[in-house]
Every structure is written in structure tokens, then in C-alpha cells.
């Protein structure tokens, strides 16, 4: 079994017979029996690998994604949005997996879900995977490859590929701030005055967008996949369920929020890169993006602070599901403490001189 997949967690099983019947109904070339496995690394949407050993080679492995168990914030974990984004991106951006089908009928497995192709490769998380270690300066090369992929994505014309309806650029940044504050209010289990303070400062200093592009909304190193034979180009980007149209610096700020400079304390977010000096600095990441765009990045601190604050809200949304017993995943047990630490990071960025 591949190291990236595992048996399905006990509390995250699905009615596999219904799913198998639905998949064979929409993809008639499939042939059972189906073998379900799970990608255990994610902390929000549930992602599964469905194996059909008797199917044609291109359909022997399918990826099924659905929202997390329990109540879902309005507009979050939108599998229909992800399906539309992937279908639009397919002919124009080969880092996006091909989406085979979408099911909006929650009666099949308990929630709407997306079916897409299986991409193979390696993902960089806390350490460099063995196949990539053969390359010199692989940390820098892969990091800059991610920035280049982001710039290529932002250069796409949403209108030309039929995705302009995914978002409304006017007022985008303000809606982001206000929307995430509403999510915080719904998910919080205690008052954190600094969270309110950071929100007020963000809302009071909204930047003026300089460009309009597609926005992934969660671009980070462990949402990317690399071909072990080529660390200089991202092979695949995942998690497209928050794709929209708006200010591209939201994506750059998100990436910076997941990045650590050498000498900084261990990252709060599990996706933040632990930098021992082998990875580029945040300044170098920003400079690389500046080379690929015509955007003034002098105000990028606001976007980084917003990303850190938003991630605190995301962590709180995950933690409250655990606290309410909506998931039994023990990885989430200590997330309550991380929320405060993440907000403190956002505060520190806003105080930079």
C-alpha cells in the first residue's frame, strides 16, 4: 500500500455499496468490486481513494472528496465549486487534476461529493521525501516552483476559461475579512480579545486591489505534488473548493502565512514550512513573485496578517468539530491552544515597521 493512503478511519466510513453503484452509473467503464482507502493527511475535507482493479487503466484509481463530518459553514467545503473550477482549468492549466463527476445528492454518501483523477507524485510536508533528496538545493527549487505555479495560475483569464462567475471582484477583500469574522463567531467556544482586535485592524486598513485574477485561497507547499524527476515544476495542485475571482495577493499572503524564516519558532500551522535555512525566506518568496507579476508588493504585510488570522479561524472550525464530538480524529485535540498562537502571529505581522 502507498504510504500516502491508509485504511479508512473507523468514524469516517461511507455507504460504499451506494457509492460504488453511483460511480458505475456515471462511469460505465468501471467494473467492481471497489476497494476504498483514505488519504489521511487532510484536516478538513475527507478524501478517499477508490480502487477498481478490474477497470480500464485510466479508471483503476479514482479520488472522491466530500465535506467534513458535522455542520459545515455556509459556502465552505463546496464540492460543486471545486468541480466547476477543475472543469474550467482542465484545458488551460495542467497542474489541476481532471474532474470526472460531481454528485449533489447527499443521499448517496451523506454529502455532495466530487470524483476526480488520481495524480501520482510526492508531497513536501515536514521533511523532503526521499525521491526528491537526490536533487541539490531541492528546498529552494521546489519553493520557487510553487511561486511560479501561482504566478501562472494568476495569469489565467477567468473569462476566457469560463470561470468568471466563480466570484465578484468588487469588494472581494472586504467580504473576505467580514466573512471570516462571521465564521469565527459561529465556531468560537470562548472569547479571545486579541482576535477581535486583529479583525478591527484588518477591517480598518483594507488594501486597494491592484489586479483581478482567479484565487485558489489555500495555496501552500503541501497542497502541491511534485514529480520526483523534476523539482523545478509543480506537477499538481489540490484543494480547489475555495476557488474564486478576486485579489491575487490573497494567495501570496496565504503562502507567506504558511512560511517560516530561519530561526523562527516552530510553526503553529501544521502546513507551515519549518525553515532551517535550506528553504528561501519570505522576502525571497515575495521577490520571486514580484519578478513574475507587475504588482506592487509594498503592502504585502496586510495580506500575510490576514492569512494568519484566517488560518486561526480555520483551526478553530476544525477544533470545535472535535470538541462537539463531530469527529473522533485525535489529531485535532490540541488545536484549541494553537488558535491563540496563530492570532498572536497575525498581531506580530501587523506591528511590523
Helices (H), 125-248: 138-154, 172-187, 193-204
Closest CA to 238 of 254, 253, 251, 221: 221
249-257 helix and 172-187 helix, angle to the nearest 10 degrees: 40
Domain residue spans in the chain?
10-117, 130-350
Question: pLDDT for 193-206, tens place per residue?
Answer: 999 999 999 999 99
CB-based contacts of 170, cutoff 8 Å, min separation 6: none
Residue 232 has φ and ψ, to the nearest 5°, of: -95, 5
Considering the chain, what percentage of its residues have pLDDT values greater than 70? 94
At 350, phi and psi to the nearest 5? -65, -20
pLDDT at site 236: 98
pLDDT digits (tens, 9 = 90+) for 122-181: 999 878 999 999 999 999 999 999 999 999 999 999 999 999 999 999 999 999 999 999
| Whole-number Å distance between alpha carbons of 194 and 34 | 49
Q: Is residue 267 scored above 60 in pLDDT?
A: no
What letter does residue 122 receive in the DSSP assignment? B
Strands 113-117 and 99-103: antiparallel
Instruction: Tell me the C-alpha distance between 108 and 23, whole Å.
Output: 10
Cα–Cα–Cα angle for 107, 109, 111, nearest 5°? 75
- All cell numbers assigned to 309: 488570522
Q: What number does CATH give the domain 10-117?
A: 3.30.200.20
> Would you say domain 130-350 falls under CATH 3.90.1200.10?
yes
Which residues contact residue 217 at a Cβ distance below 8 angstroms, ignoring those fewer than 6 apart?
Answer: 242, 243, 244, 250, 251, 254
- Chain centroid to Cα 257, Å, comes to 13
In the predicted structure, residue 330 carries a pLDDT above the cut 80: no
Q: 332-350, pLDDT tens digit by residue?
A: 777 778 899 999 999 999 9
Q: How many CA atoms lie within 13 A of 95 on its CB side?
A: 25
Q: Map grid coordinates 459545515 to a residue.
A: 72
Better-predicted residue by pLDDT, 130 or 328: 130
For 15-56, the pLDDT digits (tens) are 999 999 999 999 999 998 999 999 987 667 899 999 999 999
Q: Is there a contact between 240 and 82 (Cβ–Cβ < 8 Å)?
A: yes
Domains 10-117 and 130-350 equal at CATH topology level: no
Q: In the sheet that 46-51 helps form, which strands lie side by side, from edge to edge?
A: 35-39, 46-51, 61-66, 113-117, 99-103
Amino acid at each position: 500500500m502507498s504510504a500516502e493512503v491508509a485504511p479508512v478511519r473507523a468514524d469516517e466510513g461511507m455507504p460504499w455499496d451506494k457509492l460504488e453503484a453511483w460511480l458505475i452509473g456515471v462511469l460505465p467503464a468501471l467494473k467492481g468490486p471497489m476497494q476504498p482507502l483514505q488519504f489521511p493527511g487532510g484536516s478538513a475535507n475527507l478524501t478517499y481513494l477508490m480502487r477498481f482493479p478490474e477497470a480500464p487503466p485510466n479508471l483503476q484509481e479514482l479520488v472522491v472528496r466530500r465535506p467534513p463530518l458535522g455542520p459545515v459553514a455556509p459556502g465552505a467545503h463546496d464540492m460543486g465549486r471545486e468541480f466547476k473550477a477543475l472543469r474550467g482549468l482542465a484545458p488551460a492549466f495542467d497542474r489541476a487534476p481532471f474532474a470526472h463527476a460531481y454528485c449533489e445528492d447527499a443521499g448517496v454518501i451523506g454529502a455532495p461529493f466530487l470524483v476526480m483523477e488520481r495524480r501520482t507524485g510526492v508531497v513536501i510536508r515536514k521533511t523532503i521525501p526521499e525521491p526528491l533528496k537526490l536533487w541539490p538545493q531541492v528546498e529552494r527549487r521546489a519553493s520557487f516552483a510553487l511561486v511560479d505555479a501561482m504566478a501562472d495560475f494568476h495569469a489565467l483569464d477567468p473569462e476566457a476559461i469560463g470561470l468568471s462567475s466563480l466570484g465578484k471582484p468588487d469588494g472581494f477583500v472586504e467580504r473576505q475579512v467580514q466573512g471570516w469574522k462571521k465564521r469565527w463567531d459561529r465556531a468560537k467556544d470562548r472569547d479571545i480579545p486579541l482576535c477581535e482586535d486583529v479583525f478591527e485592524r484588518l477591517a480598518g486598513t483594507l488594501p486597494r486591489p491592484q489586479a483581478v485574477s482567479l484565487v485558489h485561497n489555500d495555496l501552500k507547499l503541501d497542497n502541491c505534488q511534485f514529480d520526483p524527476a523534476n523539482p523545478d515544476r509543480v506537477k499538481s495542485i489540490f484543494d480547489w473548493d475555495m476557488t474564486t475571482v478576486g485579489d491575487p495577493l490573497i494567495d501570496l499572503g496565504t503562502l507567506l502565512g504558511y512560511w517560516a524564516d530561519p530561526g523562527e519558532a516552530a510553526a503553529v500551522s501544521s502546513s507551515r514550512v519549518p525553515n532551517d535555512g535550506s528553504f528561501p525566506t519570505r522576502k525571497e518568496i515575495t521577490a520571486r513573485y514580484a519578478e513574475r507579476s507587475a504588482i506592487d508588493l509594498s503592502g504585502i504585510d496586510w495580506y500575510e496578517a490576514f492569512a494568519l488570522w484566517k488560518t486561526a479561524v480555520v483551526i478553530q472550525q476544525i477544533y470545535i468539530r472535535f470538541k462537539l464530538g463531530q469527529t473522533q480524529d485525535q489529531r485535532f485535540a490540541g488545536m484549541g491552544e494553537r488558535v491563540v498562537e496563530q492570532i498572536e502571529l497575525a498581531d506580530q505581522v501587523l506591528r511590523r515597521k
